[in-house]
Chain A
Amino acid sequence: MIKIRGLTKIYNGTPVLNGIDLDIEKGERIVIIGPSGTGKSTLLRCLNFLDTPDGGEIIFDDETIDVTKASPKDIQRLRLRTSFVFQNYALFANKTARENIAEGLYTVRKWGREEALNRADEILATIGLADKADAYPAALSGGQQQRVGIGRAMSVDTDLMLVDEPTSALDPEWVEEVLQLMKRVADQHRTMLIVTHEMSFAKDIADRVIFMEGGRIVEQGPPSKIFSAPEDDRTKAFLRKVLPSAS
């Protein structure tokens, strides 16, 4: 069980996260939706300190981290307990697809090199890119790069997978293959926190949908409720915009 208490982030005097409280059950797949610039990505980035939060607590099972007092060691442990899928893939440009997946295993988690590369090959087979194992990111399409990015996050058994708009930077032709893969990852019942603008994908895979606006959680619930019978006017207004046919 992961608990977030009062998580706050302020950019240049403007609060971007306004005291987020959130409990995440083990195996729960949570999708965060909401207008641009409402702190969805910042929430994910604060959970592994890619952005440094300004206040609040992050609690993983027995370990409580007061974000204002987090030591480099605490931050490193937090990063080892999470994995991250980036909007812009962020593959290591100087590493092949296989090395991108294996890198964290042998450099950070101290697996043997062989073992790590074998694991990478397994993952590549799973994501359908076994034939691209030795290709560098520059030689891969956007969709293939993002699949490797997802593979990199899948390769480790973390307590929480953070997925930040996995399809937003993709050309339309590659969106479907990445969503297909994300659905398969979701089917493994990993604990996931996903930010996306793909509403039908959210409906398909979410156990819970969170609507965020202005750095706050406005409304949350099962997708059936949020998409069919939202209560808050702001949620209704947002869904009218992104699901014009549904209203």
Chain B
Amino acid sequence: MRALDFEYMLGLVPVLLKYVPLTLGMASVSMALALALASLLAIIRVAGIPVLDGITRVFISFFRGTPLLVQLFLFYYGLPQLLPILTALDGVSAAIIGLTLHFAAYMAESIRAAILGVDRSQWEASKAIGMSMAQMMRRIILPQASRVAAPTLVNYFIDLIKGTSLAFTLGVTELMGAAQKEAAGSFLYFETFIVVAVFYWVIVEALSLFQQRLEGRLSKAFVR
């Protein structure tokens, strides 16, 4: 067994740090869009809106049922062949679209379950004071459902952050893409990938701290 090249590993840190913003940026934008889309899909399913409900079921089934990598290739390499206008789509945008749709499908089901878990009394009281469906969702049901869904949704966010590494297969030089290039130059594969692994690990651990604060905040109404 050869010795590890610590000097190389230390030198890699500032190089890779430059790519953290792109990774976090892709992850945050995808997460925000996925949350919005997932909430909409969940409400469509809970309300059982005739045609939309069917479309939503198929959407969720497809994006949960096929690998993320296949979906990304489909968006980036496949679709532009059918719709030439999509040739202009760059790797980052394609990755954001793919991650958004993929994770929205998963999160929609968690949010739906959380909505259905909100006590019947909350729906009845909202209706009794004359709230519309939209007011009831926004002010009463979703805030309570978010408390239940939060741990699962943060889990998906963690998965999504790691999922951004697949963008390198679309030619995007993000954290993983940059590491791949460094390794190809140095041939020090172990050193390179262990450093990039630690990068992802630290990002996710930082997120876990945020998760604790978020859950504390969402639960403040439920402390006896």
- For window 119-161 of A, CB contacts with B under 8 Å fall at 136-139, 152
B contact residues around A83 at 8 Å (CB): 128-129
User: Shortest beta-carbon distance, A113 to chain B, in Å?
Assistant: 13
A111 within 8 A of B: no
Q: Choose among A49, A50, A93 the residue with the greatest number of B CB atoms under 10 Å from its CB.
A: A93
User: Shortest beta-carbon distance, A92 to chain B, in Å?
Assistant: 6
* CB closest residue in chain A, given B145: A94
Interface size in chain B (residues, C-beta < 8 A): 22
User: Shortest beta-carbon distance, B119 to chain A, in Å?
Assistant: 7
A contact residues around B139 at 8 Å (CB): 103, 107
A71 within 8 A of B: no
B50 within 8 A of A: no
For the side of the interface on A, what is the size category?
Answer: 20 to 34
What is the CA–CA distance of A10 and B207 in the complex, to the nearest angstrom? 52
Are the C-beta atoms of A86 and B132 separated by less than 8 Å? no
The answer to whether A80 and B130 touch (CB under 8 A), given A92-B140, A107-B139, is yes
A contact residues around B135 at 8 Å (CB): 107-108
What is the CA–CA distance of A76 and B129 in the complex, to the nearest angstrom? 9
What is the CA–CA distance of A136 and B223 in the complex, to the nearest angstrom? 8
A1 within 8 A of B: no
Are the C-beta atoms of B128 and A93 separated by less than 8 Å? no
Are the C-beta atoms of B124 and A50 separated by less than 8 Å? yes
Residue interface mask B126-161, A partner, CB < 8 A = 1:
111111100100011001100000000000000000
B contact residues around A137 at 8 Å (CB): 221
B contact residues around A48 at 8 Å (CB): 127-128
B contact residues around A79 at 8 Å (CB): 127-130
Residue interface mask A58-99, B partner, CB < 8 A = 1:
000000000000000000100110111010111111111000
What is the CA–CA distance of A107 and B132 in the complex, to the nearest angstrom? 10
A230 within 8 A of B: no
The answer to whether A104 and B221 touch (CB under 8 A), given A93-B122, A94-B144, is no
Closest 3 pairs (CB-CB, A-B): A104-B129, A90-B121, A90-B125
Name B's A-contacting residues (CB within 8 A): 119, 121-122, 124-132, 135, 139-140, 143-144, 220-224
Q: List 24 A-B contacts (CB under 8 A).
A: A48-B127, A76-B130, A79-B127, A79-B130, A80-B130, A82-B128, A84-B125, A90-B121, A90-B124, A90-B128, A92-B125, A94-B140, A94-B221, A96-B221, A103-B139, A104-B129, A107-B131, A108-B129, A108-B131, A108-B135, A136-B221, A137-B221, A138-B221, A138-B222
